[in-house]
Structure 1
Amino acid sequence: MQNRQAEELANWCAYAEGIPVLSGFVRGIRQDYAAVEESFRSKWSNGQTEGQVNRLKTIKRMMYSKAKFDLLRLRVLTRNGTAPPN
């Protein structure tokens, strides 16, 4: 995966299918194999977006049931060093 070798994906799937912990994951890959294979070839990534979503979910989990939108927004904006608009 790190070397982005799409042609090795089929071989990896065949190998990983034999590992019980990974068999379900491989089944999911095979459901949309063309999209997964293309993701290895594409130079684009949504890692930045996923990182921001993960950060927001972590903040919300830390706040438990107090995480109403206003408080969550205030906390996110304050953390980034920007002041919330009045």
Structure 2
Amino acid sequence: MFVTPAYAQGVGASPDMFISILPFVLIFVIMYFLIIRPQRAQLKKRQEMLSAVRRGDTVVTGGGFVGKVTKVIDDNELEIDLGGGT
């Protein structure tokens, strides 16, 4: 009565592998040019600036203290005079 015959449907063409991966590749390329590349340039600029610090330069620490470099120990360590003569 309410039974309809089920007919075999033809299998549709599967999408090409390249077409299915293309959106992920495009997203990665966009992220590279908008995020990764500028960060590398900024990091390189920061490293050049930090390696150029010499004795007598005035610097601002991460905590906001302003001081004068009295000794450069190595690339990662400085001795700073904060001028606290009080």
More helix by share: 1
More strand by share: 2
* TM-score of the pair, normalised by structure 1: 0.28
* TM-score of the pair, normalised by structure 2: 0.28
Larger gyration radius, structure 1 or structure 2: 2
